[in-house]
Amino acid sequence: MELVVFVLASLMALVGAVGVVVRRNPVHAAMSLVLTLFGIAVIFVQQGAHFLAAVQVIVYAGAIVVLFLFVIMLLGVDQAEDLSIEPLTVQRPLAAVIGVAMVGLLTGAILTSDNAVMKSGAGLSSPTLDSPDANLKEIAGSIFGDHVFAFEVTSILLLVAVVGTVILARRLPKEEEAK
Amino acid sequence: MSLLAVVEPTTSWFLVLSAVLFAIGTVGVLVRRNPLVMFMCIELMLNAVNLSLVTFGRARADVNGQSTVFFVLVVAAAEVVVGLGIIVSIMRRRTAASADDLSVLKG
Amino acid sequence: MSIVAASFTGPNIAFTDLLPLLVWLGSTCLLLLVGSLVPKWPKGWYAGVAVTSSVAVVILEMVKWHNLGKEGSTTAVADAISVDRFAVFATIVVAVAVALVSTVTHDYLQREGNDGPELYAMFLTAAMGAQIMVSANDLVVLFLGLETLSLSLYVLAASNRRREQSQEAGIKYFVLGGFASAFFLYGIALIYGATGHTNLTSIATKLSSQISITRNDSLLLVGIGLLLVGLAFKVSAVPFHSWAPDVYEGAPSPVSAFMASAGKVAAFCALLRVLTTALERRVDDWRPVVWALALLTVFVGSIMAVVQTNVKRMLAFSSITHAGFILVGVEAAAHPGGDGLASSMTYLLLYTVLVIGSFTVIFIVAGSGDGATSLDDFKGLAKRRPLLALAFTVLLLAQAGVPFTGGFIAKFGVIKSAVEVHSYAIAIAAMVAAVIGAFLYLRIMVSMWLDDPSSGETITVPRGSGAVVAAAVLFTLFVGIFPGWLLDATRLVATYRELTSSN
Amino acid sequence: MHETASFPILSALILLPVLGSLVVAALSNRRPEYVKLAASLFSVGIGGMSIWLLASFHSHEGGFQFVSQHEWIKAWGISWHVGVDGISLFLVVLTGILFPLVILGVDPHHDEKRYLAWLLLLEAGVMGSFLSLDLFLFFIFFEIVLVPMYFLIGGWGYDKRVYAATKFFLYTMFGSAFMLVGIIATAMIARHDIGYFTFDLVTIAERASFAASTGRWLFLSFAIAFAVKVPLFPLHTWLPDAHTQAPTGGSVILAGVLLKLGTYGFLRFGLYLFPAAAVWAKPLFLTLATIGIIYGAIAATMQTDLKRLVAYSSVAHLGFIVLGTFAITSQALSGSVMQMVNHGVSTGALFLMVGMIYERRHTREIAELKGIQAVAPIFAAAFMVVMLSSIGVPGLNGFVGEFLVLIGSFETARWWTVVAATGVILAALYLLWAYQRVFHGEPDEANSSFPELKLREGALLLVFIAIIGFTGLYPKPVLSRIEPSVDKLIEHVQDHSGYKAPVHELAKEGE
Amino acid sequence: MLDLVWLIPALPLAGFLLIFLFGRRLGEPLAGVLATLMTATAFVVTVGAWLDLLSRTAEERHHVVTLFSWLPVGGLHVDLAFLADPLSITMALFVTGIGSLIHLYAIGYMHGDPKFSKFFLYLNLFVFSMLMLVLGENLLVTFLGWEGVGACSYFLISFWHTRDSAATAGKKAFVTNRVGDWGMMTAMFMAFASVGTLSYTGINEAAHAGHLAHVTATGIALMLFVGACGKSAQLPLYIWLPDAMEGPTPVSALIHAATMVTSGVFLLTRMAPVLHAAYPWAGTVIASVGAATALFAATIAVAQTDIKKVLAYSTVSQLGFMFLAIGSGAYVAAIFHMVTHAFFKALLFLGSGSVIHGMHHEQDMRRMGALRKVMPITGFTFIIGWLAIAGVPPFAGFWSKDEILLYAFANNRALYAVGIVTALLTAYYMTRQVIMVFYGEARWHDHAEDHGAHGDAHTPHESPWMMTLPLVVLAGLSVVGGALQLPFSHSTKFLEHWLAPVVEESERSITGTWAESNKWVLLALAVVIAGVGIAASVAVYAKGKTKPVEPQILADGWRYDSTIAALVGGPGRAAFRGIAAFDAKVVDGAVNGVGVEVRNASGLLRKLQNGLIRSYAAIIGVAVVLVLAWFLVRGVL
């Protein structure tokens, strides 16, 4: 059963990922991204990370990708990008080599490593009937416990994001607009 | 059916999957010319990392992996906002700018 | 573990240790809130806030430096950040950078005619990110700090809406930065997987608890590799340097100064801390990589600078070379014996002052529109603005490592630390590269002193910027002649590890 | 031995020029005469101090005198340690005398203020290099000298000045790159014997002992820097360009004192610091020196530019100095030191006069000069005297050094010396040939209006010629100050290596 | 009196300085007079010294006067000191004596020259240097004088420096001499290395005591001889002397006949003990070179047409005789011949000078003839000089030459044969010269014609008394000079006794040899030879029996000079050029090449910096792969 879920989910993710890379139209690319996100969300669930699965769907699919689509529409850059031609001749073969090499190296690392983590099996308490929010509590404990400082820092990060967009997207004075 | 019953996806399966996703993301950054799409590919890479984190967390029976993913999500969000901001501001000047057009600075 | 909401008790948060952050955060909010409420502040107040806050931070950190002498290093907020002289010193450097750059930024905004609080706010957030990076004791925190810094820098780089180059710089920096931080993050993930920790001290203990490191742990190693990539990108080490020239050239001059100074400091401190505390046990694995990076960086940086014709870009390449020199120090820091750490810190401080001074000169010469930075624009500067030319000459000579300047002390320090750990090869290589690098400074000096002015228009030297340049020059010369105090300080900085082990 | 002077005259010798250059730089450009005055006063004052130093120097005493030592950079074991002995004494005096002469005698054509400021700064650097007894201190002075020289060549030189200046700067910097590493390594390795980390020359030389191979590597790292500075074949090609393109004053200083930094370095930081290694490297450097002598002379013969010819003659002359240095006998070493001074004087004077010729004719091409002796006999006479001293005619200073070097070297480096001695033939060849082409013959109309020596120029040259004549006829006072230090150095070498200097009782021939 | 020996060089030096300071104001003739007086006074002092020396016993005839310590370094102690002993005083005597005569002569000869005073400036400087050379107590002081005379000869040869030939000749002389100097320096190095001193006394004593190994002694001797070859114009270095005739004639007389060129002979005599200690073959070498030079030069002299060139080659030839003597161990004979030669050769040169003066600077003998009528004194004295050099008894040359031949015979018959032939040739070409200049019909009228208008202004005339007086004096000396050393009995060998303290031990004794017992036969033979030579010449040039044999090859001096010039100018210069080019192209080329390479590398790397985000990303990607590969390898292996 696990296997089936994994295979299907990873298929979703991979197909989506490939889609992002190969779909000519940005909008389609964004849609493929959504597919991947869902696939990963499924795997999260399979791994007992229900909260993250939810956040994944909400934040990513719900917010980020939508944001992408907004921008695409706003700028009207939804016309297809011509992927048939590649000005940098070396780029694609090189990219292929790099991609394959990385897969190889990372897989190699994962498979050759005799680190304890590779052997240890299932672990975290997944939600049960008596405590449906176990996973949530654990995350909460971690975030507000060990990682409380990191949590604080995220506030600064968001502040940066806000101010940054203000600086970047603010309309320029009139005479500038003329240009 | 028996196969399905027997074979359990182990940690390494997930890890390899995330590695593959990561690599695809990398390739995407290299081959796509539309900044937006390049950016999506970066998101893809981040997700691949998330997958690894969760997997490790599970394998280690340690929740910190998941909480880290949470932070990554925040970072991703922030990045998107700023990134799109920059892209917007530059595309305001000249629409449909592909990444290759941005090469005034070189040499 | 199962937690019942009532029974949860968070870690106690030692706000005193977070004071610098709080000061900067406070003044950021002040700038933004009041700045948005009150339509227009009197001239120079925005900058004033930034400068004062930074000065305050410097003072606070000095006090902390003093106390640490008594108490010794600790970690705070659930081991998320470490409180030690290493962090304090780095913070001071960053704060100084902010103060100086804000001063210049004021003149910049005046000249470009659009004053406002946002840029200062960005500088402050960037400073916070840097501060977090240098004190982070947890990879996640480090990552967040890095992102805070980076995002701020992306925005700052792109902030000049009138110059297309500025925007281009922004997006280049952003895309490549995101790309690199993905690797960095993956590294964190793998290390987490291999050790089960993101906390540096825990990782260190975990690793040292291992009986033998010959045990095959490719997960960890690959993780280290990816981590290195992420940080190498930030310090613009070859071959992860490609972004630096373009971004430095495109970004507004004060921002370039800030990136080259505070940005490098933060990244290098993070690199040093991670390598020397968490991964000390794996030194034999990462040292060769740092060695190679250092070698590549010193040479590629200096060689590529040879044919450049834009002074701003030249300095970008020279900053790459300098990164290479600091990497030499980092390589030396791999040895328990050497004082590579101390020399790297010395170099960082001196280089910060140098590079800010230099970019300020460029900013002054660049004139309205921040565009006139080609070598021709510097022709005959000695005839148009003798003092400015003299100051720039001192700064350039210092960068070339001529004696009686801070630059020489810095170079001598890293070379010394390298030689002391018997890394003769890289020491000599670095010196030879320095000779190649010197050519670039000579070229600039030639056009300043020996050529005739190409354009007659007068160069106006804003008061603030002038003061910054003067300060940089004087400091450089002062340290060049009396470096003792600085060396003692950085020597103390280097001892932070022994102190940590006590707690 | 170390008696500390009541008044730190040596530190003053180093710091006064700095002060002077600051004052000059501070003065307003609108009153050039004040600028000139200030510069002259400072340089003359420094010259006077150097003379005073010479007067109050205890001859027949080998050790360092007027020593003053203050801690400077504690963290790195660096101290401000200066002292003078017979080897450095006359170089200091030469520096002290040459600079005022150049400042008073040669005018730059523009930006006099800047020119003078750089010149004084240069003097400080040179003084520092000759006086410092601390590796670090020596290095920084050795290195800082490049900057003013670079600007002097680049700012006031001739058509290809930028190329020459850059070449000079980078080439020399390249050499010292190795020395920097060598210095640190020396201090670090010496720490094992000394017990603490120090850059102090005397301490290291007296107390540290290096393993054979280590010593050799360290010595070579120093030697490269000095070989470039000297310059020794085949690292000499920066010199003709720098000399030719530099302004007259620059050339005089460059030939007079700057090149001596290299030869002095060989003595002080080669023989003294690494005796065993120096002895080991003897054959190499003797050979290079000999090649330099012959090669430089031949190259000089074929030059068409008078200044370039003199430059190449420097290569030959400095070959003699290096030959003597590595022959390591009392006569040879004394001769080398002597020759350092002599070359400074005579070649300096030659450059001055080439400069005067250029002032008058705006060319240095030998082919365009002819029959000057007919129209300017006094100028020709002066040139002749200096030239004869440069050729090494007895009774003039050039001979003393050259002869001592050769006669001393003959005992320890027989065949090299025999070959090197042929250099005196070539010297006569290229100089006399040049003299004939420039001064003899019927002056063509371009040269027939060649102005005779002016009073100021004459006075300037008179100083040089006086020194030439005096040291040539009565070198005893000079030698008696040089020799004790030289003997001390040789003893030091003997104590720290297998080398034995020849001693003189009637030699029973062993061949 | 001997303590005042330093006065001897000091006086001419004073003269030099005075003329240097006030020369222009003194002008003509005062400058000349001053110079002459200085030299003359020096001569007087020398005579005083000589008398003082005479008054002592042979053992005490050795006095050193030290002025100050010149080069004291370690084992080396060189004083500026003078040595007064028979040899040096003899030299000093004729240097100052002949010197003052020639000064006097020059006053007349240089009359009207714009650089009159400068000429005497140099002349005094020369006398000073020459006296330093002969009076020096050690090799270095001698070397000081040695180089000094070299320099002066350079100045004086190129005295009329606007003439390119003169300038070139001067340079040639100096450089060629330098080759010799190299030898002398090397000799000094050897002496110092083996004996530890440069003083004659020290070295000679060491040589006597046998402290000097044969090898070293031979080395020193030969190196000194190399030096002598340079100064005294022996093969292969003689080439500069004929050219040196470019200088004013008094210079030729003083420097290139009487004094400087003989300093090589002096030096070897000075170091006689060292030669003595050397292997015998060293002497043979010297003697052979001497003999060869003598013959070689004589053959050339036969065909010269320039009145001074003839004398120049004859000088070379006579110097060869002296070296033949030295090599044969006949030091006394060498000095003897040196002195007599100084007399008659100076006489001849001055005579020729007088002729040239009278002929208004015409030097070609083919345009002279029958001059003895118009310039009787010159002619008469010249003829005496001729008889002396031709070896006609009882004139001075006869005795000295015979003495040499005697020793040569005892030493090596082959060399004797060469000597005899040379003697024959000498007689021949000198007779030829006399006839061409003073006899036959006057060929100078037509010459006057082609000078056109003021023809009679050009008729030769006798020279003023300042010029003729020296001629007369020297003529007298040439007549009686032989009396210094007469072979009749042991007691008549004054010079031998006089020089005994210096050369006695080293002198080769020929007592008991065939030659010694039959010296009268040899004497007779010499006379015959001289007679034959003269007769032959008369037959050819006076009687016109056969047309003269003057093959071009001889006129060109066996093309030796031109060949060397060709070699130096051709391959030599080419080689130098090559090295200069090598320096510019290869040595410096390498340096600049590095710069160029760096630049190229920069340009190459620049291509990677193409400004495209994706390329940068690609670079990063590649780098990442490499880094990961490294770490994976570390992990797996």
pLDDT in tens, E237-266: 999 998 999 889 999 888 888 889 999 999
8 Å CB contact between D133 and D83: yes
Half-sphere exposure of E360 (CA within 13 A, CB side): 13
Rounded to 5 degrees, φ, ψ at E360 are: 55, 55
* Span A132-147, average pLDDT: 84
Q: Which residue among E612, E613, E621 places its CB closest to the CB of B26?
A: E621
Res D340: pLDDT:
93
Res D388: pLDDT:
93
Q: Which residue among C402, C439, C442 places its CB closest to the CB of D144?
A: C402
Residue D30: CB atoms within 10 A of its CB come to: 7
Q: Is E24 exposed, middle or buried (0-12, 13-18, 19+ CB in 10 A)?
A: exposed
pLDDT in tens, D212-221: 899 999 999 9
Strands (E), D417-465: none
- E280 has pLDDT over 80: yes
Residues 6+ apart with CB under 8 A from C190: A109, B52, C219, C220, C222, C223, C226
d(CA C219, CA C200): 17
8 Å CB contact between E588 and E579: no
Contacts with C246 from chain B: Cβ below 8 Å: 105-106
Which run of H or of E encompasses E401? Answer: helix E396-411
pLDDT in tens, E476-514: 999 988 888 888 888 888 888 888 888 878 888 777 778
8 Å CB contact between E144 and E156: no
Across the interface, do D75 and C404 touch by the CB < 8 Å criterion? no
What is residue E464's DSSP assignment? P
- A130 has pLDDT over 70: no
Across the interface, do D184 and C420 touch by the CB < 8 Å criterion? yes
Which one-letter amino acid corresponds to residue C467?
A: A
Q: Which residue among A90, A105, A112 places its CB closest to the CB of E625?
A: A105
Instruction: Look over chain E and give the mean of its residue pLDDT values, rounded to a whole number.
Output: 88
Contacts with A104 from chain E: Cβ below 8 Å: none
Residue D200: strand, helix, or coil = strand
CA E296 from centre of chain: 17
Contacts with D146 from chain C: Cβ below 8 Å: 402
* Span E220-233, average pLDDT: 92
Res B4: pLDDT:
60
- E451 has pLDDT over 60: no
pLDDT in tens, C226-284: 999 999 999 999 899 999 999 999 999 999 999 999 999 999 999 999 998 888 888 88
d(CA D99, CA D93): 10
Which run of H or of E encompasses D242? Answer: helix D238-245
Strands (E), chain A: none
Res C16: pLDDT:
86
Touch criterion met for B and C (3+ Cβ pairs within 8 Å): yes
Nearest to D152 by CA among D126, D125, D96, D114: D114
> Quick one: pLDDT band at residue D124, thresholds 50, 70, 90?
very high
Which run of H or of E encompasses D78? Answer: strand D78-84
Which residue on chain E is closest to B35 by alpha carbon?
E613
Rounded to 5 degrees, φ, ψ at D2 are: -75, 90
* Span D379-403, average pLDDT: 92
> Quick one: pLDDT band at residue D2, thresholds 50, 70, 90?
very low
- D90 has pLDDT over 90: yes
d(CA A76, CA A71): 8
Nearest to E401 by CA among E386, E418, E419: E419
d(CA D207, CA D196): 11
Res B5: pLDDT:
61
- A179 has pLDDT over 50: no
Which run of H or of E encompasses C75? Answer: strand C74-76
Res C368: pLDDT:
83
- Show the DSSP H helices in C43-199 as ranges: 45-71, 85-112, 118-135, 139-157, 164-195
C158 touches chain B (CB under 8 A): yes
Per cent of chain D over pLDDT 90 is 74
Res E446: pLDDT:
59
d(CA E141, CA E147): 10
- Would strands C74-76 and C81-83 be described as parallel, antiparallel, or unpaired? antiparallel
Across the interface, do C225 and E627 touch by the CB < 8 Å criterion? yes
Res A88: pLDDT:
83
Q: What angle do CA C242, C248, C254 make, to 5 degrees?
A: 160
pLDDT in tens, D56-75: 998 888 889 999 999 999 88
8 Å CB contact between E116 and E32: yes
Sign of the alpha-carbon dihedral angle for E503, E504, E510, E516: positive
Contacts with E148 from chain D: Cβ below 8 Å: 393-395
Q: Which two structure tokens, joined as six digits, stand for C372?
A: 């006139």
Q: What's the predicted TM-score (pTM) here?
A: 0.92
Contacts with D126 from chain C: Cβ below 8 Å: none
Which residue on chain D is closest to C412 by alpha carbon?
D180
Residues in chain C with pLDDT values less than 50: 1-4, 499-503
What is residue C162's DSSP assignment? T
Nearest to C314 by CA among C410, C371, C248: C248
E625 touches chain A (CB under 8 A): yes
E615 touches chain B (CB under 8 A): no
Per cent of chain E over pLDDT 90 is 50
Nearest to C397 by CA among C357, C342, C341, C349: C357
Q: Which chain E residues in 581-620 lie under 8 Å from chain D, judged by CB atoms?
A: 583, 587-588, 591
The three-state DSSP-derived secondary structure of D244-310 is HHCCHHHHHHHHHHHHHHHHHHHHHHHHCCCHHHHHHHHHHHHHHHHHHHHHHHHHHHCCCEHHHHH
Residue B8: CB atoms within 10 A of its CB come to: 13
Q: Which two structure tokens, joined as six digits, stand for C141?
A: 């925190």
Across the interface, do E147 and D393 touch by the CB < 8 Å criterion? yes
Q: Which residue among E614, E628, E629 places its CB closest to the CB of A88?
A: E614
Residue D346: CB atoms within 10 A of its CB come to: 31
Q: Which residue among A40, A64, A100 places its CB closest to the CB of B50?
A: A40
Contacts with E633 from chain C: Cβ below 8 Å: none
Which tops the pLDDT comparison, A170 or D54?
D54
Rounded to 5 degrees, φ, ψ at A25 are: -85, 125
3-state DSSP: chain A helix, strand, coil percent, rounded to 5? Answer: 75, 0, 25
Res A127: pLDDT:
55
d(CA E609, CA D271): 49
Strands (E), E74-198: 76-84
B84 touches chain C (CB under 8 A): no
Res C454: pLDDT:
77
Rounded to 5 degrees, φ, ψ at E457 are: -60, -20
Q: Which two structure tokens, joined as six digits, stand for D158?
A: 């001739």
Residue E65: CB atoms within 10 A of its CB come to: 18
Which one-letter amino acid corresponds to residue E179?
A: V
d(CA C61, CA C134): 13
A64, A72, A73, A120: best to mutate for the B interface, most B CBs within 10 A: A64
pLDDT in tens, B19-48: 999 999 999 999 998 888 999 999 999 999
Residue E81: strand, helix, or coil = strand
Across the interface, do C188 and B68 touch by the CB < 8 Å criterion? yes
- E327 has pLDDT over 70: yes
Which chains does chain B touch, 3 or more C-beta pairs < 8 A?
A: A, C, E
Residue E579: strand, helix, or coil = helix
Q: Which residue among E598, E609, E627 places its CB closest to the CB of C245?
A: E609
Instruction: Look over chain D and give the mean of its residue pLDDT values, rounded to a whole number.
Output: 90
Nearest to C129 by CA among C218, C25, C242: C25
> Quick one: pLDDT band at residue D277, thresholds 50, 70, 90?
very high
What length is written for chain E?
A: 637
Rounded to 5 degrees, φ, ψ at E359 are: -90, 10
A21, A98, A103, A115: best to mutate for the E interface, most E CBs within 10 A: A98
Contacts with E164 from chain D: Cβ below 8 Å: 440-441
> Quick one: pLDDT band at residue E59, thresholds 50, 70, 90?
confident
Which run of H or of E encompasses E66? Answer: strand E63-73
Contacts with C419 from chain D: Cβ below 8 Å: 181, 184-185, 188
Q: Is C451 exposed, middle or buried (0-12, 13-18, 19+ CB in 10 A)?
A: middle
Q: Which two structure tokens, joined as six digits, stand for D391?
A: 């050729």
Contacts with A112 from chain E: Cβ below 8 Å: 632, 635-636
Across the interface, do C491 and D75 touch by the CB < 8 Å criterion? yes
Which range has the worst mean pLDDT, A123-132, C112-121, E391-400? Answer: A123-132
Sign of the alpha-carbon dihedral angle for D254, D256, D262, D264: negative
- D506 has pLDDT over 60: no
Which residue on chain E is closest to B31 by alpha carbon?
E614
> Quick one: pLDDT band at residue D137, thresholds 50, 70, 90?
very high
Whole-number CA gyration radius for chain A: 21
d(CA C146, CA B87): 21
Rounded to 5 degrees, φ, ψ at A26 are: -50, -40
pLDDT in tens, E573-596: 999 999 999 999 999 999 999 999
